[in-house]
Structure 1
Amino acid sequence: MCPLNTKYLHRIFQNLDKNGDGLLSLEELNWLLERIGINFSLEDLESSVGKSSLNLDEFLSFCDSITKQNDDKNEILGEKEEQDLAKAFNVFDLNGDGFISCEELQSVLSRLGLWDETSGKDCSYMIHVYDTNFDGVLDFQEFKNMMLHAN
């Protein structure tokens, strides 16, 4: 997963907490993971998380632990991880052209409830930071670099 700042993670939490109880159920968390191409059974997810629901602080810790697992920039991806990243890439590559544009990034963020008028600059900036060949879009390698190595 791409490390996001606490503000965005808090917005994700609020949007996923459909019943507004201040807890993110495994079903709600699993919904997000499935949208980015990561599939767990609820039993596996509970085993990984260690409980049946997460409050905001626990959700932030969960996201942080995922980020730290991918922090080693010299990590060699296994076949499963590469497939998971390819699935996540395809979630963002809406037109299937092999690239993620600012518009596609905006559309996916909108579906996740993370888009507002000021986010347009964020999409352009995120793409600009990881667009190593300066073509204005992210290819799979640039996307993978963003997902694994963002600070």
Structure 2
Amino acid sequence: MGACCSSKKRKNQGDVGEIGEDDLKGIFREFDLNGDGFIQREELRAVMQKMNQSPTEEELDAMFRSADKDNDGNIDFTEFLVIARANPISLTLRAVFDELDVDGDGYITRSELRTAFQRMGHSLSDQDIKAIYKHVDQNNDGRINFDEFCEMINRKKN
């Protein structure tokens, strides 16, 4: 998911939280793997798997049915906006994650984390980064995936 949000707030109509409609169009295009202007069920599955989600067939059907309001077997951009407005938090977290994941490989590496903090005016020592990874990198693969990132954010909120 390479869709990125800039730090500038957009004032487009249809903004979802901090995400502007242009960013939502970019996210929609990333779901639309075959580029036909629609998201089909198998594209939804592929993107969910890319985001390290493993929905059951029933969960996938439920997600797709709730989004496909006209029951044509496709989710168009308007239907996608309904999903985005219903669940802006996950899209906002995805946008933040994508901003940190500079190379777009689906992981935040130590160097990407260091760069992000430098852009915010903070300098992290190697010890600081090791401490962050010790708490966040649950599978100890040396990278932070989207699930680990979300868990870290959710722990901070609680």
What TM-score do the two structures reach when normalised by structure 2? 0.45
Larger Rg: 2
The structure with higher relative contact order (CA 8 Å, sep 6+) is 1
